Amino acid sequence: MGGAAGALLEVRDLHVSFDTEAGAVPAVRGVDLRVQRGETLAVVGESGCGKSVTALAILRLLDPSGRIERGAVRFDGQDLLGLSEPEMRALRGRRIGMVFQEPMTSLNPVFTVGDQIGEVLAIHRGLGKRERRAEAIRLLEKVGIPAAAERVDQYPHEMSGGMKQRVMIAIAIACEPEVLIADEPTTALDVTVQAQILDLLRALQQEMRMAIVLITHNLGVVAQFAQRVLVMYAGKIVERSDVATLFREPLHPYTRALLRALPSRSAHAERLVSIAGTVPSPLEYPPGCAFCARCPDVLPRCADDEPRLEGVEAGHAVACWLHAGTGAR
Amino acid sequence: MWTFVIRSVLQRLVLLVVISILAHSVVHLAPGEPSQVDPSNPRLKPEDIARIREAFRLDEPIHLQYAYWIHDLFTGELKSFRDDQPVLPKIWRRFLNSLPLFVCATLIVWTLAFPTGIAAAVRRGRAFDRGSTFLAYAMISTPGFFLAYVLILWVVDTFNVPVIGMRTFGMDAGSPVNYWMDRLWHLVIPSAISALGGIAVLSRYVRSQMLEVVGQDYVRTARAKGVAEDAVIYRHALRNALLPFVTMFGFLIPGLIGGSVIFETIFAWPGLGRLGYDAILGRDFPVILTLNFIAAVLTLAGTLVSDVLYAVVDPRIRYD
């Protein structure tokens, strides 16, 4: 928990809700996160837990129906929620890059990839037409696209999914951002391509010394890639830890269940364990722990009393009554 | 691409022959013929009717009549049943009258419908969107002729703008400047009023198309790149939203010949729409069939233009 003052990106007590016909639906309910320069933070959870919404809220890219109710987002000492829209635009794509889940639909179909990379270069680096093209080719080479000089004039539909995701990464890193937010960057890709994209991200991170916020539901990806992990459930962080500790000693019953659901190389023929029950609807979150209805170790107080995220040892915190009061902090 | 164009042209030629045969049959099989236009006329004796039928070759078998029509059409000898004037020059004169009205109305429709639809989509659910939606549906649900008459009353009372005919009688005697200003002046109200319905319909299309595109992932990508909101809307979203309208652009071409019977009648505009309408009432087969034939040619040409334009504007579409 130390070194918080030097955090590059810091989110505090973020609450986001969406306006629907059924009323305001809470999607993120008090998320805290800190990212240090150059590190990789993974945010893990199943679909709908609020991890992507958190990422979009950081860049203020939520749909019009989404609203940041309260909280603070600080980046390099600036309060992002207080910035004007032009100030925010100057950060997007330049100091904070973002890669999305769906490479198939995330690129504009009517522009060449060169134009789409060049647009960032024109906006943030003020490059002229010829420089943009040369730089786009250099970036395509950097993200491992062969025959970049020809590819630069191609349209997205002429490329495979993995190739498009490389182009998305080229766009995101074109201005050497300090933070790259990668929202499920490999989910839509084949397994072999997934590994290549992760390798690419890791290589780029080492070269550029950028921090990565990796949003994923894949614990295998987390194990390979991240230093620290946040586990989210129903819009809240339920466990925060470094990667080694999380895999060795998961504390929250939800984290444990996630790990049990992970296929392991050693255990053949063993059936994977699924988590019983379903994620509660955001409209009917219980007053207590949102996981209580599915929890194998539920206590009488869980349904009504909400556990807070408390540190149990250095760098490891969990929001669960099973572990309340066991730690130092 | 060129093989595609050639193949399409050949296919359309075959289709054109089929259309012309069908149209010819329909017109001739429909009840009524030139000799029956005025049956109560006491001076029309049976021998006159026989003479009319003879003169117009209506006693020949239908396939021969078709051959005569096609032959006369392509040799330019085709003449109207009513006034014995050559059909093609007759249509051409009326076409020149309809053209400015059509061009002006279309320009008004496209230049107003797009900004309206885009603005409504961008401000979805807000006052402008609701207001323009209300107006558009009011306009769509009111019959055009009714709206036109109401507006004419108001316009004449308020602005003193001409609403009848194409020019002021006797204006040809003045200077060319005065003459053309007068023509232009007469064009204002008919084109504006006949454009209203088009604006209402097209702006709704534009709005729904924009709304669909604005929700796409690549629009979010553009924002994440730091692209300014105007460029997000007009460069990234609009470029994609425009693609379906390319088809509509091709279908504008047959509109050249359609004219509008209703508006030409209301504004006493001697255009093609009224020519066709009068030809149908008078059973003037050569004029009806030739108008129909030209409309078919233009429609087929329009679809071809649409197909080709599609490949030009959408990189995902290739013909080869």
Q: Which of A63, A100, A124 lies closest to B226 in CB terms?
A: A124
Residues of chain A in contact with residue B316, where contact means CB-CB under 8 angstroms, are 109, 155, 157
Each residue of A110-121: pLDDT tens digit?
Answer: 999 999 999 999
Interface predicted TM-score of the whole assembly (ipTM), two decimals: 0.89
> A140, A113 in Cβ contact below 8 A?
yes
Asked whether residue B219 carries a pLDDT value surpassing 80, the answer given is yes
Question: Which residue in the set A100, A120, A171 is minimally distant from B217, CB to CB?
Answer: A100
- For residue A254, pLDDT over 70 is answered with yes
Residue B210 · residue B125 · CB < 8 Å: no
Tell if the CB–CB gap between A92 and B216 is shorter than 8 Å.
no
> Does any CB of chain B come closer than 8 Å to the CB of residue A57?
no
Confirm whether A316 is domain-assigned: yes
**Mean pLDDT, chain B, as a whole number?**
85
* Mean pLDDT in residue range A312-327: 85
Average pLDDT over residues A42-67: 92
Check residue B258 and give its pLDDT. 66
Residues in chain B closer than 8 A to A61 (CB atoms) = 220, 223-224
Contact B240 A108 (CB under 8 A): yes
The CA dihedral of A58, A61, A67, A70, to the nearest 10 degrees, is 20
Question: CB neighbours (10 Å) of residue B21?
Answer: 14
The answer to whether the CB atoms of A155 and B316 lie below 8 A apart is yes
Q: Judge contact between B139 and B207, C-beta under 8 A.
A: no
Query: Residues 6 or more apart from B99 whose CB is under 8 A from it?
Result: B256
The answer to which of A32-41, B41-50, B205-214, B239-248 has the lowest mean pLDDT is B41-50
Would A111 be classed as within a structural domain?
no
From the list B218, B224, B316, which residue is nearest A59 (CB)? Answer: B224
The pLDDT-based confidence of B170 (bands split at 50, 70, 90) is low
Q: How far is B245 from chain A (nearest CA, A)?
A: 15
A64 in contact with B at a CB cutoff of 8 Å? yes
Q: How far is A13 from chain B (nearest CA, A)?
A: 23
Locate the DSSP E strands across chain A. Answer: 9-20, 23-35, 40-44, 66-75, 78-79, 96-99, 179-183, 211-216, 228-233, 236-242, 310-313, 316-318
CATH code of the domain made up of B90-245+262-270: 1.10.3720.10
The confidence score (pLDDT) of residue A129 equals: 93
* Chain B partners within 8 Å of A93 (Cβ): 224-227
Mean pLDDT of chain A: 90
Q: For residue B81, is it left (φ>0), alpha (ψ between -120 and 50) or beta?
A: alpha
Q: Quote the CA–CA distance of B25 and B80 in Å, as a whole number.
A: 18
Quote the domain boundaries for residue A272: 252-329
pLDDT tens column, A189-229: 888 888 899 999 999 999 999 999 999 988 888 988 899 99
Structure tokens at A17: 């809700």
- B171 band by pLDDT with thresholds 50, 70 and 90: low
Total Cβ atoms within 10 A of residue B180? 12
Report pLDDT digits (tens) over B254-293: 777 766 788 888 888 888 888 888 888 888 888 889 988 9
Q: Does A120 touch chain B (CB under 8 A)?
A: yes
SS3 of residue A180 by DSSP:
strand
- Asked whether the beta carbons of residue B221 and residue A100 sit closer than 8 angstroms, the reply is yes
Given a contact cutoff of 8 angstroms between Cβ atoms, the answer to whether A161 and A104 are in contact is yes
Per residue in B93-152, pLDDT (tens digit) is: 888 888 888 889 889 999 999 999 999 999 988 899 999 999 999 988 988 888 888 888
Each residue's pLDDT tens digit, B57-74: 777 888 888 888 888 888
Q: Which chain B residues contact residue A105 at CB under 8 A?
A: 216-218
**What's residue A1's pLDDT?**
42
- Which residues share a beta bridge with B79? B86
Is A107 in the B-facing interface, judged by CB distances under 8 Å?
Answer: yes
What average pLDDT does this structure show over A36-64?
A: 92
pLDDT at site A4: 47
pLDDT the model gives residue A119: 96
For residue A326, the model assigns a pLDDT of 67
- Pick the more confident residue, B60 or A176: A176
The pTM assigned to this predicted structure is: 0.83
The number of folded domains in chain A is 1
Smallest CA–CA distance, residue A101 to chain B, in Å, is 10
Q: Is the pLDDT of residue B307 over 50?
A: yes
pLDDT value of residue B194: 84
pLDDT score for A270: 64
Provide the pLDDT for residue A3: 44
SS (H, E, C) chain B: CHHHHHHHHHHHHHHHHHHHHHHHHHHHHCCCCHHHCCCCCCCCCHHHHHHHHHHCCCCCCHHHHHHHHHHHHHHCCCECCCCCCEHHHHHHHHHHHHHHHHHHHHHHHHHHHHHHHHHHHHCCCCHHHHHHHHHHHHHHHCCHHHHHHHHHHHHHHHHCCCCCCCCCCCHHHCCHHHHHHHHHHHHHHHHHHHHHHHHHHHHHHHHHHHHHHHCCHHHHHHHHCCCCHHHHHHHHHHHHHCHHHHHHHHHHHHHHHHCCHHHHHHCCCCCHHHHHHHHHHCCCHHHHHHHHHHHHHHHHHHHHHHHHHHHHHCCCCCCC
**Which residues of B touch chain A, with CB atoms under 8 Å apart?**
124, 215-218, 220-229, 236, 239-240, 243, 313-316
Closest chain B residue by Cα to residue A125: B226
